[in-house]
Amino acid sequence: MRIGHGIDVHRTSHDVTRELWLGLVQIPDGRGLVGHSDADVATHALCDALLGGANLGDLGRHFPDTDLEYANAPSRRLLEATLALVRGAGFRVTSADITIIAERPKLADFMAAMSHELSAVLETVVSVKATTAEGLGALGRVEGIAATAVVLLEEI
């Protein structure tokens, strides 16, 4: 068994047309995040946790922001590619847990959909929850959104 941990943070975009994606779900009431791909911090943290648990480095190593192939890429594509790397290294995912840290938008109505979408890709239960920064720091001022993820991998 292996444990992996991931974290990701992205700034809030000033482009009001940029979509907000979290946990593979579009959040209609939120301002998008700045990033090379769709900037889905929840899925990116999950990818980093998966890669870390399999001792495969991090997301930037496999999908660098200098590679035009991943410009505006949907995070589902990054997650599927990450999962293929993890499986190729001889592991399967037995569980995953994600925490999103955001003041706004409120995410309670989207948690089940995020869990469903992520669980379908990983073929295991992915728990998704959210908290706020209680108004503290950059996250508390709604300058961005962060996420952490923990995964448990098992050798196959």
Q: What type of residue is 92? A: R
**Residues 39-58: tens digit of each pLDDT:** 999 999 999 999 999 999 99
Q: Which class does domain 2-155 fall in? A: alpha beta
- What is the reported pLDDT for 153? 98
**Do residues 26 and 20 lie in contact, with contact meaning Cβ atoms separated by under 8 Å?**
yes
**Do residues 132 and 101 lie in contact, with contact meaning Cβ atoms separated by under 8 Å?**
yes
CA distance 71 to 52: 23
**Residues 86-145: tens digit of each pLDDT:** 999 999 999 999 999 999 999 999 999 999 999 999 999 999 999 999 999 999 999 999
What DSSP string describes 39-90? --HHHHHHHHHHHHHTT---HHHHS-TT-GGGTT--HHHHHHHHHHHHHHTT
Domain boundaries, the chain: 2-155
Residue 65: φ, ψ to 5°: -75, 0
- What is the reported pLDDT for 30? 79
What pTM did the predictor assign? 0.97
CA distance 131 to 117: 20
Distance from chain centroid for Cα 66: 19
